Amino acid sequence: MITFSNVSLIYPQSTKTILEDLSFQIEEGEMVLVMGETGSGKSSLLRLINGLVPHHTGGILAGDISVDGISTRSVKPGSLAHLVGIVGQNPINGFVTDIVEEELAFSMEALNFPPDVMRKRVEEVLDLLSLSALRNRSIATLSGGEQQRVAIGAALVMHPKVLVLDEPTSALDPIAAEEVLSVLHRLVHDLSVTVIIAEHRLERVIQFVDRIIYIEGNGDTSIGTADEILKRSELVPPIVKLARALNLSEIGTSVREVRRQTEDIRNNQYSRPLVPSLENSPAIEISRVSHSYSEKSALNKVNAVINHGEIVAIMGRNGAGKSTLLHSIVGLHSPHSGEIRVNGADPTLLKGAARRRAIGYVPQEPSDLLFASSVEEECVLADRNNEIAPGSTAALLNRLVPHISLHAHPNDLSEGQRLALVLSIVLSGNPDVLVLDEPTRGLDYRAKNLFAIALKEYARQFNRPVLLATHDVELVAELADRVLFLAEGEIVADGTTLEVLLSSPAFAPQVAKVMSPKPWLTVADVVHAIEASA
Amino acid sequence: MKKPLHPLTLWICAILLAIGVVALDNAYIALAIVGAVALLVYIRRDGSPWQRSFLLSLRIGAIILAIRTIVGILIGVPIPGTKLFTLPILDLPTWMPGIRIGGAVTLERLSSSLHEGVIIATMIALFGAATSLTSPHKLLRVTPSFIYEIGITLVIATSLFPQLATSARRIRTAQKLRGFEKIELRSIAIPLLEESLSRSLQLAAAMDARGYGISRKRSRYRPQPWLMRDNLTLLLTAAAAVTMVTR
C-alpha cells in the first residue's frame, strides 16, 4: 500500500538530516506504530505519506514514496485526499467549519461530491464512530475525545485506504484514549484500512499494532514486529520493562500474555513493604471550594489538604474540573465560595517576587512563559528576577537536561527540553509550592523519567509539596504519593496512589494490571518485593 | 434557535449601512445604529469565540474616537463660536504657517471633532458586528471556489482574530502567575506570534490535505438557502441606505 524507497529528508537551513535512506513497505490493513524520541522526525515521516512534507513545509526529499501506486512527488497533498486521511496532533487547529456534520462533509464538498453521496457517507461515519448524538453540536463545545473522533470521521468520509494519526491520544484521559484506539482497531480489522500512528505512550497502543517503525536518536531506523523492536529498543512501555526485569523468556505486548508468564510470581507470598507515613503538616488547605463558569458548575464543595513534602496527582476525565482547581490554588481567580490557603496566605493576593517565592506554576503550554531569544537570555533573566547568583538557573537546567545549547532559541528546543527550561526558571524562584498542569504531554519516556527525578528531588530535599494534574497513569504510579480523583467537580477518591489506582481498572497502570491482585504499581515495586522475600 | 440569515446578507447589510452612515454624516443616527446593532448582537449571542469581536471593535472605535477628539481640539484651524476654555498656544517656527497647536477651544470645534470620531467608530462597529454574527468559517463556505487562495487567506485571517484574543489572555495569565506584574509588550507578543503562526500553518496544511481547492467546482452539503427573509432584510437595508444617501 505504502512504499518508501531510499527516502532521505532534510529541511532548509538545517544541517541535520531528518531521515536517511529509509526503505520499507506497508501492506494493506496493517497497523503500524512510528516511535522515537521527541524531535526525532516522527511527524515528518507521517506527513511524507500524503506529501504535506515537502509540498507544504519545504525541504529536500531524496528517494521516492508511493501510496497505492501514486508517487507523492507528482501530486499535491489534496489530490491524495481520497486515498490518505490525516489527523493532526491538535485536531482543534485543523477544523475548518464549526458544526460536526459540516466538518465531516468538508472534504467531499471540496472535491465536488454529489449531495446524495455526501448525505449517505456522513450518516455512515456518524454511525461508525457513534457521533450521531453530536451531529448538530458546535465543535468547540466537544470534549477532547469527541473532537478526536470527529477528526477521524472527517478523514474517513473519503473512504481512504490509509489513515495517518499523529499522537491521537496525547491530550486524552485513559478512557477517551481507549475509545479512540478501539475505533482504530475496528477500522483495521473490519474495513482493512491501513493505519499509521505515532505515539509516545506506548503502553496505550502497543497491544494493537502489527509492526513498529523505530526512529533512533542517531538517525538509524529499524522496522519490525513489536516483539523484535521492543527486545532491544531503549524506549519501552512498562510491561516490557517488567519482562526484562523478571528475565522472562519472551516479552509480551499485552497484559494477558505477560500475566500467563508470571503466574508463579503472583502466587508467592510477599511481606508488605512498610510505607513511611508522612507527618501531617498542611501546606495547601482547600475548604469547601465551589466554582462555576456561567451557570455551569466546575467545582462543587471540594475539601482537601496537601501536606509538606507530598507529591499529589489530580486525576479525572477531561472536563472534570482539574484545571479549575489548579487555577483556584494558584490564585488565578478567587472561588465563588469556600477558602484556599497556601502556607496560610490567600493566593489571589500574591504579587511579584512574593508570588514567585510562594507558588511556582508551570502552565499547560510551557512556552507561554518564554519570550527571550535564547536559552541563555531566559536563564539570565530568571537569575536577575529572583536575585540569585548569576548562572544558577543555567546550572539547574544543566542538571535537569545536560547539553542544551545555551544559544538555541527556546522555540527550537524539543518539548522535553522546553519543559526542563520552564521548570528550571520556575524552580529558580525557590517556590514553597510547585503546581504543574499536564506537564508531560508529548514527552518520551526518557524525558519523563528525568522530569520525575527532578520533581521527587524538589519534594524530598526541601520538604515541599508538588501538585500536578495529569492523565498519565504511568507517571502517577512512578511519582505521586497521593491521588485526588475528580469527577464532575467533586473529589470522588482521595487516598494513596496505590489505593486509588488499584481501585479503578481504567486508571490502573500496566504493571498493576499484570500483577493484580498484588499491590504493585511499578516495575521497581515488583523488583523490591521479590528481592525482599528472597 | 431560529434559522440564521445567510452570511452574505449580513455582510452586505453592514456595507450598505456603512455607506449610508458616511453619506448621511449624522452622529445621532450613527449612534442609534450602533445601539441597534449592539442589541442585535446581544440577542443572537451563542457564546462562540468570534462573538467577542464586536466588543473588541467597540473598544477600537472608542480609542479612535478619543484620539480624534484630542487631536481635533489641539490642532487645527480655529472655528468661531461659543468659547469653552483656552489652551496655551504653542509657538511654532515660521515655516509652518496656518497650523496652530492649542488656543481657544470652542463648542463647535469640540463637537465637529466628536462627530467625525463617531462616524469612524460606527463603521468599525458595523463590521465588528458582521464578524461576530456570522462565523468566519460560515463565510468561507459561501465563497466560490475559484477564489480559492483568497478563501484560504480569509479563513485563516478571520479565525486568527478571535484566537489571538484567547491566546493573549492565556499568556498574560501565565506570566502574571510567574509574578510579572508589569506586562511588557514583548513578553506577550513573542509567544503570541509564534503560536498564531504555527496555528495558521496547521490550519492551512489541514485544508490542503483534505483536498480544498483541488476541484474547480465544489458541491454543497445542506446548502445554506437564500430565503425570502434574506431578500426582505437586504431590501429594507438598501432602502434605508438609499434614504440616507439621498437626503
Do residues B2 and B26 share a domain?
yes
C-alpha to C-alpha distance for A126 and A63, rounded to whole angstroms? 39
Q: Do A101 and B221 touch (CB under 8 A)?
A: yes
Three-state secondary structure readout of A229-247: HHHHCCCCCHHHHHHHHCC
Cα distance from B69 to chain A (closest Cα, Å)? 36
Do residues A417 and A479 share a domain?
yes
Q: Which residues of A touch B208 (CB under 8 A)?
A: 52, 55-56, 76-78
Give the domain-ending residue among A210, A229, A248: A229
Q: Would an 8 Å CB–CB cutoff place A113 in contact with chain B?
A: yes
Mean pLDDT of chain A: 88
Do residues B61 and B131 share a domain?
yes
- Rounded (5°) CA angle A246-A251-A254: 110
Please give the single-letter amino acid code of residue A505.
P
Q: Which residues of A touch B131 (CB under 8 A)?
A: none
Do residues B60 and B150 share a domain?
no
Q: Please name the residue of chain B whose CA is at the shortest distance from the CA of residue A89.
A: B202
Do residues B213 and B93 share a domain?
no
Helix, strand, or coil (residue A314): strand
Q: Which residues of A touch B171 (CB under 8 A)?
A: 368
**pLDDT for position B48:** 66
Q: Looking at residue A371, which CATH number applies to its domain?
A: 3.40.50.300
Cα distance from A388 to chain B (closest Cα, Å)? 16
Q: Would an 8 Å CB–CB cutoff place A111 in contact with chain B?
A: yes
Do residues A193 and A315 share a domain?
no
Do residues A485 and A358 share a domain?
yes
Do residues B104 and B47 share a domain?
yes
Q: Would an 8 Å CB–CB cutoff place A62 in contact with chain B?
A: no
Q: Which residues of B touch A371 (CB under 8 A)?
A: 186-191
Q: Would an 8 Å CB–CB cutoff place A369 in contact with chain B?
A: yes
Q: Which of A86, A317, A51, A40 is nearest to A200 (CA)?
A: A40
- The pLDDT tens digits for A423-470 are 999 988 889 999 998 888 778 888 888 889 989 999 998 899 999 999
Do residues B90 and B24 share a domain?
yes
Q: Would an 8 Å CB–CB cutoff place A416 in contact with chain B?
A: no
Do residues B205 and B236 share a domain?
no
Do residues B165 and B230 share a domain?
no
In total, how many domains does chain A have?
A: 2
Written as one string, the DSSP assignment of A66-127 is EETTEETTTS-GGGGTTTEEEE-SSGGGG--SSBHHHHHHHHHHHTT--HHHHHHHHHHHHH
Do residues A208 and A297 share a domain?
no
In total, how many domains does chain B have?
A: 2
Q: Please name the residue of chain A whose CA is at the shortest distance from the CA of residue B156.
A: A96
Specify if A475 maps to a domain.
yes
Q: Please name the residue of chain B whose CA is at the shortest distance from the CA of residue A348.
A: B177
Which contiguous run of DSSP H or E holds residue B201? helix B185-209
Q: All 3 cell numbers of residue A98? A: 464549526
Q: Which residues of B touch A113 (CB under 8 A)?
A: 219
Q: All 3 cell numbers of residue A221? A: 531506523
Do residues A330 and A473 share a domain?
yes
Of B48, B181, B211, the CB nearest to A107: B211
Residue A193: which domain range? 30-40+74-229
Do residues B50 and B161 share a domain?
no
Q: pLDDT: is A223 or B91 the higher one?
A: A223
Q: Are A80 and A55 in contact (CB under 8 A)?
A: no
- The pLDDT tens digits for A204-231 are 999 899 999 999 877 788 999 988 899 8
Cα distance from A88 to chain B (closest Cα, Å)? 8
Q: Do A115 and B220 touch (CB under 8 A)?
A: yes
Among A50, A104, A112, A351, the strongest candidate for a mutation testing the B interface, having the largest count of B CBs within 10 A, is: A112
Specify if A185 maps to a domain.
yes
Q: Please name the residue of chain B whose CA is at the shortest distance from the CA of residue A357.
A: B179
Do residues A225 and A286 share a domain?
no
Q: Which residues of A touch B135 (CB under 8 A)?
A: 98
Name the DSSP letter for residue A274: P
Q: Do B207 and A96 touch (CB under 8 A)?
A: yes
Among B138, B192, B221, B224, the strongest candidate for a mutation testing the A interface, having the largest count of A CBs within 10 A, is: B221
Do residues B55 and B176 share a domain?
no
Q: Please name the residue of chain A whose CA is at the shortest distance from the CA of residue B168.
A: A368
- The pLDDT tens digits for A250-283 are 888 889 989 998 888 888 888 776 666 667 788 9
Q: Do B212 and A110 touch (CB under 8 A)?
A: yes
Q: Is the pLDDT of residue B52 over 90?
A: no
Cα distance from B47 to chain A (closest Cα, Å)? 10
Do residues A376 and A488 share a domain?
yes
pLDDT band at B2 (very low <50, low <70, confident <90, very high): low
- The pLDDT tens digits for A159-181 are 999 999 998 888 888 888 888 89
Specify if A522 maps to a domain.
no
Q: Which residues of B touch A158 (CB under 8 A)?
A: 211
**pLDDT for position B1:** 45
Q: Do B177 and A332 touch (CB under 8 A)?
A: yes
Average of pLDDT values for B229-238? 89
C-alpha to C-alpha distance for A382 and A372, rounded to whole angstroms? 11
Specify if A56 maps to a domain.
no
**pLDDT for position A276:** 66
Do residues B64 and B170 share a domain?
no
Of B46, B181, B188, the CB nearest to A352: B181
Q: Is the pLDDT of residue B66 over 90?
A: yes
Q: Are B176 and B144 in contact (CB under 8 A)?
A: no
Q: Is B150 exposed, middle or buried (0-12, 13-18, 19+ CB in 10 A)?
A: exposed
Q: Is the pLDDT of residue B175 over 90?
A: no
Do residues B15 and B55 share a domain?
yes
Lowest mean pLDDT, pick from A79-93, A387-401, B80-94: B80-94
Written as one string, the DSSP assignment of B38-88 is HHHHHHT----GGGHHHHHHHHHHHHHHHHHHHHHHHBS----S-EEEEEE
Do residues A305 and A213 share a domain?
no
Residue B112: which domain range? 1-136+224-247
Mean pLDDT of chain B: 81
Q: Which residues of A touch B217 (CB under 8 A)?
A: 112
Q: pLDDT: is A357 or A412 the higher one?
A: A357
Q: Do A110 and B145 touch (CB under 8 A)?
A: yes
